[in-house]
Structure 1
């Protein structure tokens, strides 16, 4: 179903993804973080829907549809290294910090700071080229805002 998308995502070279592809890749990364602890609970899925609706100015139904498409993509997606490379290539640094903030928002949505989610967030932060300090500040902003 996502073969063409995955081919573009994993193509060698620094090809910039079209905006729709970058949006789908980010959505799937949000899903990957929600699933990092073995299950994505309703709070995490609802948080993903809110993030997508806000970030991309979508209706609730359109955000849910995008998340469902991202769930299917995430299940077929390559390893996180190649997956995040596409986002890094498509998104400026300051916007990647916002991506990390969104990922922390999903990871913390269930009220549990799970070691598997923490580990994936550290990995993704590195792959996106965001500093550990910026990631920690993003987590703190999310905890204070969504707490």
Structure 2
């Protein structure tokens, strides 16, 4: 089990958003790998390995607030906005907006202390 640090908590939230609609699709996995590679300067293999670790963490931490709280205490406002954009990218990766995915993003952004309007603006 990976440590529940900010890097893995973000990855676990990305996985949680992707799985929220009951389908964990290739497009979502690919987007998560791409985001992890970009955010943390990883190569493709390192990003896939990190995502696999994050999948384990996501399964072990059922509370979305708890995952988001790990990030809240470890990130700056600028990073928070970047992470919220990343959550929206995964939510939109399959070309559809599912209510359950939006709910996970809403829980995370609420935990970050972000107003719903601000989170919606980062989506668009």
Using structure 2 for the length normalisation, give the TM-score: 0.94
Choose from 110, 134, 137 the match for 2:118.
134
Query: Quick one: which of 55, 72, 90 aligns to 2:74?
Result: 90
In structure 1, distance between residues paired with 2:46 and 2:83: 20
Aligned length: 124
**Hey, what's the Cα distance between the residues in 2 that align with 1:92 and 1:78?**
25
Match status 1:69 vs 2:69: no
The runs of 4+ residues in structure 1 deviating greater than 6 Å are: none
Unaligned runs of 5+ in 1: 10-20, 141-147
TM-score norm. by structure 1 comes to 0.80
Contact 1:97–1:134 under 8 Å retained in 2: no
* Structure 2: gaps (5+ residues): none
Structure number with larger C-alpha Rg: 1
